[in-house]
Every structure is written in structure tokens, then in C-alpha cells.
Amino acid sequence: MSAPSTPNNDTRPHPEAARELSPGERWYWIIDQLSTLNVCARVRVQGELPARQLRTALAALQARHPQLRTAIAAGPQPGGGPWFVPTGRPIPLREIVLDGPEQDRWAGEIDARELTDPVDWATGPLARAVLISTPDRRTHDLLLTVPHCIADGTTALSLLRQWVRLAAQPPAPHTPTTTGGAGGAGGGFPEPFEALFPPRPDPATRPQPAQEQEQEQEQGVVGRLRPEHFVPFDRRRTRMLHRFLDADVLDRLASACRREATTLHGLLAAALACAVAHDAQAAPRAWFAVGSPLSLRDELTRTVLEDEAGCYVSALHSQVRYQPDDVWAMARSINDDLAARKKHGEQYDVFDLLAVQGPAGTADSEPFIRHFEENGPFNFFVSNIGRFAFPTELAAPTGTWQLSGAQFVGGISVVGYLGSSVTTSQGRLSWNFTHIEQAVSAERARRIADDSIRRVIAAAGN
């Protein structure tokens, strides 16, 4: 099968770097066209950091990953379509020099542009970068943005980490820069995510989760977040609120989670579910459904390393009772429910559905999207990548760099109304809340975010 060409695109002759989008990749690409679905990563660097050094490092990063050297060709193709196709365009770097000490300008850029403006998939490449510098050029925020069809939160942060390291210690000339995965330099385009799925139980033989059995016996309605306004799918815009917990709270949370025999993710999801239920003025013990996008890198037919680009996540939901006075009981319930669902292979169901019934393009996508809007298992979620090792200091040709604030944030597009992205790195937990503008007002989003944070801090104790 020959690879399709891309008219009016600056391409390079790398036929091995072209293939058809998989059902999951095609789904993310389709909804990205309706409402931007980007993943952004950020880190602060203190020290002398010339832009030319960053541009050279971006070129080296791009050489490592075929996904960063591609565009997407839409329309009829010899083998179906759409296709990833090669492009010779470099990753663009936008430079901003501040007029004063704007500590949170990076968050404003993500909120106003990086989550809103789509990456130009038609011309490529499928990445862009931002350098924000203080007037004295001694403090810098680096942003890297990639579309969800080729990246999850771990991918975005890993690419950012590789970029910074390449800027600090450029590889010697002619030194291979492979990352050890199927998509490294010199290799072909990585195989589709779905090709790595392990054998799993037949859904027809799968037992019903205990929480769903209990909820059905009570014949109660499972709560979801109610939007304030219906926003047409093609007009939805993700907005962001940045929150964080410092090292002291993190240490207390780790001890509390061990004491309560649950995970930090369970606690974060329980706190968000509590905040949503409280905002809805729900009665105690009402049922709510909260989503959890989870990494599958360690359970595929080959281990997918952090430094391999791609989207290797799936979302599961948990039905949990609203217990405002016992967030730990909610956390254990969510944790146990997720473990049971993963054991029975539910994390692969959505991709099986997309392969059989997923839309071919935006033109036929509305019935499928509307079904998820009205009948999906959840519409608010916590995407937590756990602890991510990011250096706090790097030796560079221009001197030692101090690094801090490494984190990611993902867009929502049409798959919900309220999300949150959690990164634990460099002694801080960054919790970025996202919401669909107008569907969830800024005031309401702040109220839910602050309530979630308050509940987590209270659970950590003194």
C-alpha cells in the first residue's frame, strides 16, 4: 500500500513515517476539529537560556519522534484515511518578553491560546512551543503543546523534559538520538495504540461492578454535572484555573493515604465528586459518576516508555456515594471500583466501540457525540499522571539552570464539562482545573476547584 501525499505541504520523503490514523486517533482528531483538544506541558527555568539554544533543541527533539515530523492528510486516501504524512516544517517557537514580573503569564497563555487554538494538523508539525522570559532574561517559562491524537499528559511532559535536556546538553554531531521505543529516530512510524492491546475477557462474561449493582438495586439516578447552558459542540472552549499543593501538604497526604489504605488519585477524585455534589445541593448518599483517565503503558503487549510519544490512556468511570463527612470512604470506593474495572478489561471498551461505530469524520460525528453527551457514564473527571520525575537542576553551557513547576494540562473538547489535570513533580502537586466556558461559569468553576482543594487539605490533617 502506498502512502498518500499531502498537496500544498512541505514534505520530506519518509514513506516509513506515514500510516492511517487508528480509530482512537481518528476520534481525537475529529473532536479536535469541533473544539480544540490539546495537551500542554510547562516548566520554569531560571538561568541564561538563549532562544537559539531552544530552537536547536527543538530540532533535535523533532528528529527523535516521527509524530513530531508529521501532518494529517484528510479526505479520501488509497487505504482509507485520514493519514499521518511527513512534513519538513520545524516546530514553531513563539517568544514573549514580559514588561514586568508577571509570575502567572504562562497560565494566561495556556488559558487564552494554547488550549484554544488548534495545532495546525493540515500543514504540521503536530507540536508548537512558547518561550516566556522576564525582562532581565533570567527566568523563563517553557510551554509545549501537542494535539491529543498523538499525546497524553505523560507524553507532553516527557517531550518537554527531553527538550530541556537537549537544550542543556546538546547531543554530539552524528550521535543517534533514539528514545528506545518503536518510534525512535531511524525507525518507522509507531504502531497504532490498539495494536498493543493484550488479550482480555469477553464483555459478555464480565461481572457487574459492585457499586453499579448497589445503585441499580436502589433505582437511584447517577448524578452528573449539569451545565448552566448548552453550548453547541463546535463552539466549546476550554478554560483553565491553576491550583497547587506544596511539599508539606504532599507529605501529609502520603501519610494519610497509607493510613487510610487508599491512593492519592482516589482521594482527589472523591474530593472533586464531593465538590460537584455540594455545588448541585445533592443529598448525602446520592450517587455520582466521576471519570478517571488512566495510563495503560505498563499493561500493553510491550511496555511503552515515558519517553515514547503517543496517547496511551483510557478513561474509566466510578459510581460513588456522596458522603460529605467521609471523603476517605469515597476514596476507597473509587479506588476499589477502578481496580475491579481494570481487572475485567473495561479500559478497552471505548476503543472497541470506536473501531465498530466511530464516526469517519466531522460530517457524521454529531449523532455519536450527542449520544455520549446525553448517555455517557461521566462528564467530569480527574486525569492524574502520578509522580513524574523532572530534574530540578541542569548543568548547561550557559551555567546551571534551576527548574520548577513542571506540570501538564489537557483540554476537554466535547467529552465533558469539567476536568482536572494533576501532576506531582519537583515537590509540588499541580492541580489544573478546566471547564467549558458558558456551560460552567468561571465563578462556578472557581467554587468547585477551591472546594476540592479545601477537602483534600482537610483530609491531609495537621
CATH number of this structure's domain 210-460, picked from the four choices 3.40.50.2300, 3.90.245.10, 3.30.559.30, 3.40.47.10? 3.30.559.30
Residue 246: what are its φ and ψ, rounded to 5°?
A: -85, 180
Q: Which pLDDT belongs to residue 176?
A: 46
Q: What is the pTM of this model?
A: 0.92
Q: Which pLDDT belongs to residue 11?
A: 37
Q: With contact defined as beta carbons under 8 Å apart, do 223 and 288 qualify?
A: yes
pLDDT digits (tens, 9 = 90+) for 17-71: 578 999 999 999 999 999 999 999 999 999 999 999 999 999 999 999 999 999 9
For the chain, list residues with pLDDT below 70. Answer: 1-17, 75-80, 171-187, 217, 219, 462
Q: Which pLDDT belongs to residue 206?
A: 77
Residue 449: what are its φ and ψ, rounded to 5°?
A: -60, -45
The pairing of strands 222-223 and 287-295 is parallel
Residue 38: what are its φ and ψ, rounded to 5°?
A: -105, 160
Question: Strand, helix or coil at 229?
Answer: coil
pLDDT digits (tens, 9 = 90+) for 96-116: 999 987 789 999 999 999 999
Q: Which pLDDT belongs to residue 12?
A: 38
Q: Which pLDDT belongs to residue 96?
A: 97
Q: Which pLDDT belongs to residue 183?
A: 45
Q: Which pLDDT belongs to residue 78?
A: 53
Q: Which pLDDT belongs to residue 185?
A: 41
**11: its cell numbers:** 514534505
Q: With contact defined as beta carbons under 8 Å apart, do 183 and 311 qualify?
A: no
Which stretches of 100-232 are assigned E, i.e. beta strand?
128-133, 139-147, 222-223
Sorted by sequence, the CB contacts under 8 Å of residue 426 that are 6+ apart come out as 390, 392, 403, 404, 405, 406
Q: Which pLDDT belongs to residue 146?
A: 98
Residue spans in the chain of domains classed CATH 3.30.559.10 = 16-168
CA 320 to CA 282: how far, in whole Å? 13
Residue spans in the chain of domains classed CATH 3.30.559.30 = 210-460
CA 23 to CA 356: how far, in whole Å? 9
> Which CA distances in Å does 23 have to 147, 192, 361, 372?
16, 9, 11, 16
Q: Which pLDDT belongs to residue 317?
A: 95
CATH number of this structure's domain 16-168, picked from the four choices 3.40.250.10, 3.30.559.10, 3.30.450.40, 3.30.750.24? 3.30.559.10
Question: Strand, helix or coil at 223?
Answer: strand
Q: Which pLDDT belongs to residue 18?
A: 77
